[in-house]
Amino acid sequence: MCSLFLRFCKVLEHGNTANTDWCHLILSLYLFVAEFFKKRFSSFINIFRKREEF
């Protein structure tokens, strides 16, 4: 997903710089959201595992 998006950005870079800025903004937002959900999801899994132990 990420590499595909970066390849898309490279294509847009040849067009103009405004598109590149949008690409980096969207990519950083995507990475932030992915990291946020990864943390949430891992804590949720840990809670679920602890419940199974009881």
**Three-class DSSP labels, 9-53:** HHHHHCCCHHHHHHHHHHHHHHHHHHHHHHHHHHHHHHHHHHHHH
How confident is the model over 21-50, as a mean pLDDT? Answer: 82
Count of domains observed in the chain: 1
Highest mean pLDDT (candidates 15-19, 29-33, 49-53): 29-33
Is residue 1 over pLDDT 60? no
The band of 50, judged by pLDDT with boundaries at 50, 70 and 90, is confident
How confident is the model over 24-49, as a mean pLDDT? Answer: 83
Q: Residue 11 sits in which domain range?
A: 2-53
Is residue 27 over pLDDT 60? yes
How confident is the model over 23-34, as a mean pLDDT? Answer: 83
